[in-house]
Amino acid sequence: MKISVIIPTLNEESHIEKTLQSVMKQEGDYEFYVVDGGSNDNTVAIAQRYTRVINSERGRAIQMNAGAQVCNGDILLFLHADTLLPDNAFREIRKRMKADNVVGGSFYIAFDVNNLILRCVSFITRFNFRLFHFGDQGIFVKRNVFETLHGYKEIPIMEDYEFYKRLKGQGKVILLRMPVISSARRFIKKGVIRQLLINKSVVLAYWAGVNIQTIKRFYDDMR
């Protein structure tokens, strides 16, 4: 199985190189693309040292869909620009995705700082609860299933949560018992507890049917 990795970026010069290096450590047949939404820093220049960069309209969902259109892998893996893959990630994905009823999945998450609360968050994401699956955990999906779902809904926020919810309607969605390492920069900037409250408020607002543009404005204002 060939794996296509799609990494949306916007001003990620501080993180993109380590993420790309974590992809290049993997084994087997794979390809990877950076889909840039108009960075004005060195993101594109750094990424071009490693792979092809696709220019796209800004918006994570838009960028991920644009990347999916140009790749040809059997499995698509959507990876945030500040998230590092564990060793042997591709091997484990291929192993688990061979089952006919498995359509996709994600990893659990760990953070790049030693913080008790974030360690608790990481522990919670080891369980396949609907409330705890987002794009920073690395979402992978069979290509034909992605196409059946018509990709990500091109909304300004919660596109990962919305896609994962639809994915579960297509078959078995698995959680790999190995962590991706995500940057804790937003938690450090805002404060761990405050950022957790913001994150869960966004989810609850989405569940309650609050207008997606209103949720996006709230989230941006609080960043």
pLDDT along the chain (223 residues), means of 10: 97 97 96 97 97 96 97 96 96 93 94 93 80 81 97 93 91 94 90 88 86 80 41
pLDDT score of 221: 47
CA distances from 197 to 8, 30, 56, 99, 203 (A): 25, 37, 32, 37, 10
Helix (H) or strand (E) holding 218: helix 212-222
Query: Rounded CA gap, 93 and 173, in Å?
Result: 12
| CATH of the structural domain 3-183, one choice from 3.40.1640.10, 2.30.110.10, 3.90.550.10, 1.10.10.10 | 3.90.550.10
Phi and psi torsions of 105, nearest 5°: 170, -165
pLDDT score of 130: 58
Helix, strand counts (H, E) of the chain = 10, 8
Domains of the chain, residue spans? 3-183, 184-223
Burial class (CB in 10 A: 0-12, 13-18, 19+), 206: middle
pTM beyond 0.85, yes or no: yes
Query: Rounded CA gap, 141 and 163, in Å?
Result: 10
pLDDT score of 163: 93
Query: Rounded CA gap, 129 and 14, in Å?
Result: 31
Contact of 30 with 73, CB cutoff 8 Å: yes
